[in-house]
Amino acid sequence: MLTPEKKEFIEFMMSADVLRFGNFVTKSGRSTPYFVNTGNYRTGLQSSRLGEFYAAMIRATIGPEFDAMFGPAYKGIPLVTSTAGALARTCGIDKPFFFNRKEAKDHGEGGSLVGYKPQDGDRIIIIEDVITAGTAIRETLPVLYGAADVKVTDMFISVNRCEVGQTPGRTAVMEVAEQFGIRVHSLIDVRDVHEYLQQKGEYADILPLMESYMEQYCVF
């Protein structure tokens, strides 16, 4: 159901040219009529507001019940940074954060992680943009489990595309929950985007493409 909060987030993404409509190819190689590119957030105000959206979702779902938050390179880096700031500023939840380099540093302290150093027993949450086929999370988990004996409990994303993953009839989000025991929380999902477009006459040409795409790739 498209709540006022979800509508606000959709319009926020559109105003920042993050949620776009047209012809795109996702990381999984699927052609899609809509695309979410969090790399288009480029101002301090946008970053601050985005962090507040994520912070509100974290507060409403798990509160302070975690030890640190991780942002996968590259897009997860500004996401986790803005979220950590907003959590402390608006929710009174001050938690450490960290992120990874794509290539390990071979000088100084070395290693691939920047920021907080995970400890055995830590409960880690992941801050990401979207999940399409689950490719990125499968690349991320070895980084975390290789750093310490941590437990990854929850993942927070902007958009759940509700798309089938590697198993027929199961979405990537379902697979992440079943295979890794990670709960995935999203600010909106593809049904919210579809419902929003239904309310806006100027997107009438996009609706059939959305519906065809959802019928082909989405599982609800």
Domain CATH code at residue 187: 3.40.50.2020
Tell me the three state secondary structure of residue 106: coil
Within a domain: 203: yes
Within a domain: 107: no
Number of domains in the chain: 1
Q: What is the pTM of this model?
A: 0.91
- Distance separating alpha carbons of residues 208 and 10, to the nearest angstrom: 19
Give per-residue pLDDT as tens, 140-159: 899 999 999 999 999 999 99
Range in 60-74, 99-113, 124-138, 187-201 with the lowest mean pLDDT: 99-113
Q: Nearest 10 degrees: CA dihedral of 58, 41, 160, 27?
A: -130
- The domain in which residue 76 lies consists of 4-102+113-217
CA-only gyration radius of the chain, Å = 17
- Other CB atoms within a 10 A radius of the CB of residue 89 amount to 14
Within a domain: 108: no
Q: What is the mean pLDDT of the chain?
A: 92
Within a domain: 209: yes
Within a domain: 17: yes
Indicate if 185 belongs to the active site: no
Nearest to 10 by CA among 202, 196, 210, 209: 196
Catalytic, out of 107, 151, 185, 194: 107
Quote the Cα angle for 12-137-139, to 5°: 130
Catalytic, out of 7, 102, 105, 200: 105
The phi, psi pair for 62, rounded to 5°, reads -125, -10
Indicate if 107 belongs to the active site: yes
